Structure 1
Amino acid sequence: MLTAAHTYPALGSYRITVVVDATGEVVTTPFVTAGLGFVPVGPTRVFDTRSGAPMAPSSTTRVRVAGINGIPADVAAVAVNLTATDTAAGGFLTAYVPGTVRPPTSNVNFVRGQTAPNFTVVAVSGGQIEVFNGSPGTTALVVDVLGVFTHAPGTAPNHGGLNRVLDTRNTGGPIAAGTSRSVKLADRGDVQAVVNLTVTAGSGSGYLVAHAGDAPRPATSNLNFGVNTTRSNLAIVRLAPDGTMRLHASATTHVLVDVVSLLEPSSSKGYVPITPVRTLDTRTDKAIPPGGEIQAYTFTDEMLEDPLSRHSIPLVTYTVTGPTSDGWLRHRSDVGGSGQWYNGAHLNFSPGETIANTVLPPHSHGSHPPFVLNSGLITNASGGTTHLVTDVLGYFA
């Protein structure tokens, strides 16, 4: 058997032609490179069971995204904010590809009576995604699309780390109920910003909306919060030409904004969704001690489209469960042997709760490879123990 390898100069669809010398037979087959490009769409709300019946206990719901509110028909994956609300019992949501075996992972965790959101990226099949309600009670489901991934062109994060650009506790004071505030994230508007949004010390229950600085406020939400709670959520936000986004708060709250990365067009790099994989669950061993550090994920070649993709940037969901004190998760990277800490928290938690946040881990700027998948380390920055669960959703390669 003969084998051959070829590297294409750009992402896209190709036709492979093979000529068999002995017979002169010509064999042609289509081939699509791995890697998707991000297309800013919305934000737009595509599904809300509150206008009808909630999800039944331990049930699945298929949500159509293709062709809805400007979403292209050829969408391959969607960046969504999933929100569980009006929950009758504690449980979790899992989003995955319709018609496939449900992965042993979760995207959103909630308790009875809670409104809990979380960002994720889900591969699409037949124009739909599937969501499972892992709860013994009913729950309402809200799905907001923040953007989509298609087969062309590609997209690459251009730098990494947490760059805190806003902390209203230090500058400007809280965002008042029913008002908006402009935040400059970049010196250009032809990119999308990956940001970690955190609300804290809210005066009442409410929600936060992030959107482009030159666009009207959409009928969507990124974060839901209660009185004096601290909550974080990842978002991808299209920027105005001057590099700004706007934040709207329905209740008075302090807001922190950390820029994780900027997404730029790329002819040779893109996002590769995988079947979500649980790579760490400390509940099977022992909790992380106060100040303790743990390797956040371990990859095998079977999880990747290409073993070389180990030199990539993963998208992961961290879930903290059973913490014994207030605290947060802190990430560092061993890129270049620096062991650099990044200024900001990926996930804040309180005693006894189970809470998740999706993370694009720190990665270096302008280097190749930008990140080694097995080099991410996470620290329990709290005075008590906590368990950590890590689910890998895909990677930029």
Structure 2
Amino acid sequence: MDKRAYNFNAGPAALPLAVLERAQQELVEYKGIGMSIMEISHRSKEYEALNTETQELLKELMGIPDGYQILFLQGGASSQFAMIPMNFLKPGRVGSYVHTGAWAEKAYKEAKLLGHEVHIAATSEAHDFMQIPELNEIEIHPDSAYLHITSNETIGGTQFQEYPNTGNVPLIADMSSDILCRPVDVSKFAMIYAGAQKNLGPSGVTIAIIREDLLQDLPKNIPTMLRYEIHSTNNSLYNTPPVYSVYMVNLVLKWIKENGGVEAMEQTNRAKAKLIYDAIDESKGFYIGCAAPASRSLMNLTFRLASEELEKSFIKQAEAAGFVGLKGHRSVGGLRASAYNAVPMEACEALANFMRDFQQKNS
């Protein structure tokens, strides 16, 4: 096989080579049944076993305690922006949101669109969303049905380093871009959800981890497919699930387990991020980090150069050297390296070396 690209795409993102190779081996025939996993019935014993095993793997890796349901949903995390208020915001209750950037904004705007009362519990707008609000700045509305946070903002490159203590108010987190990058105390959360296409697998499935008490007494007047109760009661098999995406998540979870679990992922991720942040911080201003140092993301490392012309040159030369996905989000420009779990250490080492070489040639 030719040398693989250094894939720093923000999502869909890199997958572990070992996972891709195993999927390749099993593509035509899955476990001796004479068919691909993509061809079997979701009512078959093979798929039901895969469905259960994937739930158990996630439960083991994240230390999910009893009393939580793991759901495999469709529509991406963006569908959860609507499902959460539809299911949990009853008359007289308020949805509280911490506004940390583009994805947090999409979540609260969806609740407003549905006519629900929405409260901004804290915002980092005054800092151009380049830092996470201090936990003591978060003011939860007294009638809150929940507090929603976006644990990692892929565009700005900011990440919660600690999570708020919300007391009796359920804490809901969109962890699409940093789930499994480090250990998390799931018991602090009433719900965690994540689109798969960054740290879990390919696009097509969204994982929701929901505390069982939230699933009680939900509205019956919303569309069937948008009701968590339906997916919970039917073990995510109410309709045809995204079979292949769940299968790929299963392989990614096995890869994480085989490589030391979430604790090992964090150790590697911190080392990878340090390589690139050091190249930024030691550049004497040639590279300018976007996110405030105390809010820097392990997953999405954002930076700028002195001019857009220089940034364009950086991207062009990086692409010629085998780097993919370093262009910043179209809404903010700049540069971004997304170093998810599956991005190998050698890719980050190569990028740090390229950055220093580019600086030397352009200073």
TM range (shorter): under 0.3
Structure number having the greater helix percentage? 2
TM-score by length of 1: 0.22
TM-score by length of 2: 0.23
Point out which structure has higher relative CO (alpha carbons under 8 A, 6+ apart).
Answer: 2
